[in-house]
Amino acid sequence: MKTYKAQYQLTKDEAISAAKQHRKTNLRKSTATTVNIMAVLLGVLALFIISLEGLTSFIGLNCLLILAVCLSWFFRHEIEDWVVGVIYARRTNESALIKWEFSEEDIQIDFDSLVSTTMKWKLIQEIVEAEDGFIIYTKKPHYFFWLPLSAFVIQDNIYHFKRIISSNNVKFKLKDS
Protein backbone atom coordinates (compact mmCIF):
# COMPACT_ATOMS: atom_id res chain seq x y z
CA MET A 1 0.00 0.00 0.00
CA LYS A 2 1.57 3.28 -1.16
CA THR A 3 1.39 6.14 1.33
CA TYR A 4 2.00 9.87 0.99
CA LYS A 5 3.14 12.09 3.84
CA ALA A 6 2.78 15.66 5.02
CA GLN A 7 3.74 17.38 8.28
CA TYR A 8 3.81 20.82 9.85
CA GLN A 9 4.32 22.64 13.15
CA LEU A 10 1.03 23.81 14.63
CA THR A 11 1.91 27.27 15.91
CA LYS A 12 -0.46 29.86 17.35
CA ASP A 13 -0.50 31.69 14.01
CA GLU A 14 -1.23 28.45 12.15
CA ALA A 15 -4.13 27.68 14.55
CA ILE A 16 -5.61 31.16 14.00
CA SER A 17 -5.12 30.80 10.23
CA ALA A 18 -6.99 27.47 10.34
CA ALA A 19 -9.89 29.08 12.23
CA LYS A 20 -10.03 31.93 9.69
CA GLN A 21 -10.03 29.53 6.72
CA HIS A 22 -12.78 27.49 8.38
CA ARG A 23 -14.86 30.64 8.93
CA LYS A 24 -14.53 31.62 5.28
CA THR A 25 -15.94 28.30 4.11
CA ASN A 26 -18.39 27.47 6.88
CA LEU A 27 -20.84 30.37 6.98
CA ARG A 28 -22.76 31.22 3.84
CA LYS A 29 -22.49 34.85 2.80
CA SER A 30 -26.28 35.19 2.47
CA THR A 31 -26.77 33.91 6.02
CA ALA A 32 -24.13 36.30 7.36
CA THR A 33 -25.73 39.23 5.52
CA THR A 34 -29.16 38.39 6.91
CA VAL A 35 -27.83 38.12 10.47
CA ASN A 36 -25.86 41.38 10.01
CA ILE A 37 -29.04 43.22 8.99
CA MET A 38 -30.97 41.71 11.92
CA ALA A 39 -28.18 42.66 14.34
CA VAL A 40 -28.16 46.26 13.10
CA LEU A 41 -31.96 46.53 13.38
CA LEU A 42 -32.00 44.97 16.85
CA GLY A 43 -29.14 47.22 17.94
CA VAL A 44 -30.88 50.35 16.71
CA LEU A 45 -34.12 49.28 18.38
CA ALA A 46 -32.26 48.57 21.63
CA LEU A 47 -30.58 51.99 21.51
CA PHE A 48 -33.94 53.65 20.88
CA ILE A 49 -35.55 51.87 23.85
CA ILE A 50 -32.56 52.68 26.07
CA SER A 51 -32.88 56.36 25.10
CA LEU A 52 -36.57 56.27 26.14
CA GLU A 53 -36.34 54.07 29.22
CA GLY A 54 -32.82 54.76 30.47
CA LEU A 55 -30.50 52.18 31.97
CA THR A 56 -32.17 52.17 35.38
CA SER A 57 -35.27 50.29 34.23
CA PHE A 58 -35.54 46.54 33.71
CA ILE A 59 -36.35 47.01 30.01
CA GLY A 60 -33.37 49.33 29.55
CA LEU A 61 -30.98 46.79 31.09
CA ASN A 62 -32.37 44.02 28.88
CA CYS A 63 -31.90 46.24 25.83
CA LEU A 64 -28.31 46.86 26.92
CA LEU A 65 -27.79 43.07 26.95
CA ILE A 66 -29.32 42.81 23.46
CA LEU A 67 -27.03 45.61 22.28
CA ALA A 68 -24.00 43.76 23.71
CA VAL A 69 -25.01 40.57 21.86
CA CYS A 70 -25.43 42.53 18.61
CA LEU A 71 -22.01 44.14 19.01
CA SER A 72 -20.39 40.81 19.81
CA TRP A 73 -21.79 39.45 16.52
CA PHE A 74 -19.87 42.10 14.61
CA PHE A 75 -16.68 41.36 16.52
CA ARG A 76 -17.13 37.57 16.50
CA HIS A 77 -14.06 36.94 14.34
CA GLU A 78 -11.78 38.97 16.59
CA ILE A 79 -13.31 37.28 19.65
CA GLU A 80 -12.78 33.84 18.11
CA ASP A 81 -9.15 34.65 17.22
CA TRP A 82 -8.59 35.85 20.79
CA VAL A 83 -10.14 32.65 22.21
CA VAL A 84 -7.96 30.48 19.95
CA GLY A 85 -4.93 32.46 21.13
CA VAL A 86 -5.84 32.06 24.81
CA ILE A 87 -6.43 28.32 24.39
CA TYR A 88 -3.18 27.98 22.49
CA ALA A 89 -1.27 29.91 25.19
CA ARG A 90 -2.38 27.33 27.78
CA ARG A 91 -0.77 24.49 25.85
CA THR A 92 2.29 22.87 27.36
CA ASN A 93 4.23 22.68 24.11
CA GLU A 94 4.81 25.78 21.95
CA SER A 95 4.32 24.14 18.58
CA ALA A 96 3.09 20.62 18.02
CA LEU A 97 4.32 18.56 15.10
CA ILE A 98 1.33 17.28 13.14
CA LYS A 99 2.11 14.34 10.86
CA TRP A 100 -0.24 13.11 8.13
CA GLU A 101 -0.11 9.92 6.13
CA PHE A 102 -2.53 9.22 3.26
CA SER A 103 -3.28 6.02 1.45
CA GLU A 104 -6.12 4.76 -0.72
CA GLU A 105 -7.71 3.20 2.38
CA ASP A 106 -7.33 5.80 5.12
CA ILE A 107 -5.78 8.92 6.64
CA GLN A 108 -3.49 8.67 9.65
CA ILE A 109 -2.85 11.75 11.78
CA ASP A 110 -0.31 11.96 14.59
CA PHE A 111 -0.56 14.96 16.94
CA ASP A 112 2.92 15.49 18.35
CA SER A 113 3.19 11.79 19.34
CA LEU A 114 0.53 12.42 22.01
CA VAL A 115 -2.53 11.27 20.08
CA SER A 116 -2.84 9.52 16.77
CA THR A 117 -5.89 8.52 14.84
CA THR A 118 -6.77 6.65 11.70
CA MET A 119 -9.83 7.65 9.68
CA LYS A 120 -11.34 5.80 6.78
CA TRP A 121 -12.16 8.01 3.80
CA LYS A 122 -15.87 7.31 4.22
CA LEU A 123 -15.71 9.30 7.50
CA ILE A 124 -14.78 12.44 5.53
CA GLN A 125 -17.79 14.61 4.66
CA GLU A 126 -15.95 17.02 2.37
CA ILE A 127 -12.62 18.65 1.73
CA VAL A 128 -12.37 22.33 0.85
CA GLU A 129 -9.31 23.70 -0.89
CA ALA A 130 -8.62 27.08 0.72
CA GLU A 131 -6.07 29.75 -0.20
CA ASP A 132 -3.13 28.07 1.47
CA GLY A 133 -4.31 24.61 2.45
CA PHE A 134 -7.15 22.14 2.83
CA ILE A 135 -9.95 22.04 5.37
CA ILE A 136 -11.01 18.46 6.00
CA TYR A 137 -14.51 18.10 7.45
CA THR A 138 -15.58 14.83 9.04
CA LYS A 139 -19.06 13.41 9.32
CA LYS A 140 -20.35 12.78 12.85
CA PRO A 141 -18.75 13.94 15.04
CA HIS A 142 -18.41 17.18 13.07
CA TYR A 143 -14.76 18.16 13.26
CA PHE A 144 -12.48 19.95 10.89
CA PHE A 145 -8.78 19.46 10.36
CA TRP A 146 -6.40 21.97 8.83
CA LEU A 147 -3.79 20.76 6.37
CA PRO A 148 -1.67 23.64 5.05
CA LEU A 149 -0.02 23.39 1.63
CA SER A 150 3.31 23.98 3.34
CA ALA A 151 2.90 20.57 5.04
CA PHE A 152 3.53 18.83 1.74
CA VAL A 153 7.32 18.64 1.63
CA ILE A 154 7.10 16.79 -1.69
CA GLN A 155 4.87 18.85 -3.99
CA ASP A 156 3.76 15.73 -5.92
CA ASN A 157 2.00 14.59 -2.75
CA ILE A 158 -0.59 17.36 -3.25
CA TYR A 159 -1.47 15.79 -6.60
CA HIS A 160 -1.66 12.32 -5.00
CA PHE A 161 -3.78 13.68 -2.14
CA LYS A 162 -6.31 15.11 -4.63
CA ARG A 163 -6.23 11.90 -6.66
CA ILE A 164 -6.97 9.79 -3.56
CA ILE A 165 -9.82 12.16 -2.62
CA SER A 166 -11.31 11.69 -6.07
CA SER A 167 -10.85 7.89 -6.11
CA ASN A 168 -12.66 7.66 -2.75
CA ASN A 169 -15.56 9.82 -3.98
CA VAL A 170 -15.04 12.40 -1.24
CA LYS A 171 -16.82 15.69 -1.90
CA PHE A 172 -14.17 18.22 -2.90
CA LYS A 173 -14.64 21.91 -3.59
CA LEU A 174 -12.66 25.02 -4.08
CA LYS A 175 -12.97 27.78 -1.49
CA ASP A 176 -15.47 30.06 -3.26
CA SER A 177 -17.52 27.53 -5.19
pTM: 0.69
pLDDT in tens, 106-127: 999 998 878 889 999 999 999 9
pLDDT score at 168: 92
Neighbouring residues of 128: CB distance < 8 A, sequence distance ≥ 6: 25, 134, 135, 137, 172, 173, 174, 175
Structure confidence at residue 131 (pLDDT): 82
pLDDT, position 65: 84
Residue 84 in this model has a pLDDT that exceeds 90: no
pLDDT in tens, 138-158: 887 778 888 999 999 888 899
